[in-house]
């Protein structure tokens, strides 16, 4: 003998079906990249985070830059603001032309340090980020964002400082003035520039 389904059960099942159909039809499709408007969590954009910082960072590094001829290289630590003026003795190109640099002999310098200025387009290190004080690690969610911020600053210096000069081997013998963030390994000082003037 078949069991009859009560009228109330039929009404409940029908109501449930209508509710499910309504929920499916009224669901909002969220476009990629707009999730933060609904969740409050916005994806980190290193370029956007650094875009308004560059001028202030250049100003800060320039104001505290020390003359390369007077700096104790052993005291550089993680980085130091430095200014250097001298003749370009060499143009060095590595990594299929993506890691270029110039060697500068500072005016009036008699020490044995070698001063190399990075010219990109790939830059080693995070010295520009590390010596600026506009933003600190605590301003970021994690180490990944902090690293991305350093890369974004390096991209800006390449775009705004280095690339417009179109530096190549013809710079050898010319006098340049550079302000930047310097680190030292042994007697080699690597400068990541925030300002370059070629005479």
pLDDT (tens digit, 9 = 90+) per residue, 79-113? Answer: 899 999 999 999 999 988 899 999 999 998 988 89
Question: How many domains does the chain contain in total?
Answer: 2
Residues 16 and 72 reside in one and the same domain: no
pLDDT at position 73 is 84
> What gap in Å lies between CA 26 and CA 130, rounded to an integer?
50
pLDDT at position 45 is 62
pLDDT at position 4 is 59
Residues 173 and 111 reside in one and the same domain: yes
HEC profile for the chain?
Answer: CCCCCCHHHHHHHHHHHHHHHHHHHHCCCCCCCCCHHHHCCCCCCHHHHHHCCHHHHHHHHHHHCEECCCCCHHHCCCCEEEEEEEEEEEEEEECCCCEEEEEEEECCCCCCCEEEEEEEECCCCCHHHHHCCCCCHHHCCCHHHHHHHHHHHHHHHHHHHHHHHCCCHHHCCCEEEEEEEEEEECCEEEEEEEEEEEC
pLDDT at position 84 is 96
On whether the CB atoms of residues 117 and 196 are closer than 8 A, the answer is yes
pLDDT at position 144 is 94
pLDDT at position 138 is 92
Instruction: Kindly tell me if the per-residue pLDDT of 44 is higher than 70.
Output: no
**What are the tens digits of pLDDT across the range 132-156?**
999 999 999 999 999 999 999 999 9
pLDDT at position 11 is 76
Which residues does 124 contact at the CB level (< 8 Å), separation at least 6?
99, 118, 190
**What are the tens digits of pLDDT across the range 179-194?**
999 999 988 999 999 9
Nearest-10 Cα torsion for 144, 186, 76, 78? 10
Residues 51 and 18 reside in one and the same domain: no
**What are the tens digits of pLDDT across the range 21-35?**
666 666 666 565 555
Instruction: Kindly tell me if the per-residue pLDDT of 8 is higher than 90.
Output: no
On whether the CB atoms of residues 57 and 150 are closer than 8 A, the answer is no
Residues 30 and 50 reside in one and the same domain: no
170 lies in some domain: yes
Residues 96 and 141 reside in one and the same domain: yes
Pairing of strands 114-121, 188-198: parallel
pLDDT class for 195, splitting at 50, 70, 90? very high
**What are the tens digits of pLDDT across the range 45-58?**
665 666 689 999 99
CA 135 to centroid of chain Cα atoms:
12
CA terminus-to-terminus distance, the chain: 104
Its domain, for residue 87, covers 46-198
pLDDT at position 51 is 65
Residues 28 and 105 reside in one and the same domain: no
């Amino acid at each position: 003998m078949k069991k009859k389904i009560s009228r109330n059960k039929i009404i409940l099942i029908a109501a449930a079906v209508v509710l499910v159909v309504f929920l499916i039809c009224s669901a909002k499709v969220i476009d990629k990249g707009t999730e933060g408007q609904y969740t409050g969590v916005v994806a980190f954009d290193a370029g956007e985070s650094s875009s308004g910082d560059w001028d202030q960072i250049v100003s800060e590094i320039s104001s505290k830059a020390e003359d390369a001829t007077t700096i104790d290289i052993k005291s550089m630590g993680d980085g130091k603001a430095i200014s250097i003026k001298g003749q370009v003795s060499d143009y060095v190109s590595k990594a299929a032309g993506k890691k270029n640099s110039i060697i500068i002999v500072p005016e009036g310098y008699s020490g044995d340090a070698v001063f190399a200025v990075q010219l990109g387009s790939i830059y080693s290190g995070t010295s520009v980020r590390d010596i600026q004080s506009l933003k600190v690690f605590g301003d970021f969610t994690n180490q990944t964002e902090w690293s991305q911020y350093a890369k974004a600053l390096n991209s800006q210096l390449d775009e705004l400082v280095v690339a417009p000069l179109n530096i190549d081997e013809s710079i050898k013998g010319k006098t340049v003035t550079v302000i930047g963030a310097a680190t030292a390994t042994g007697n080699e000082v690597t400068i990541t520039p925030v300002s370059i003037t070629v005479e």
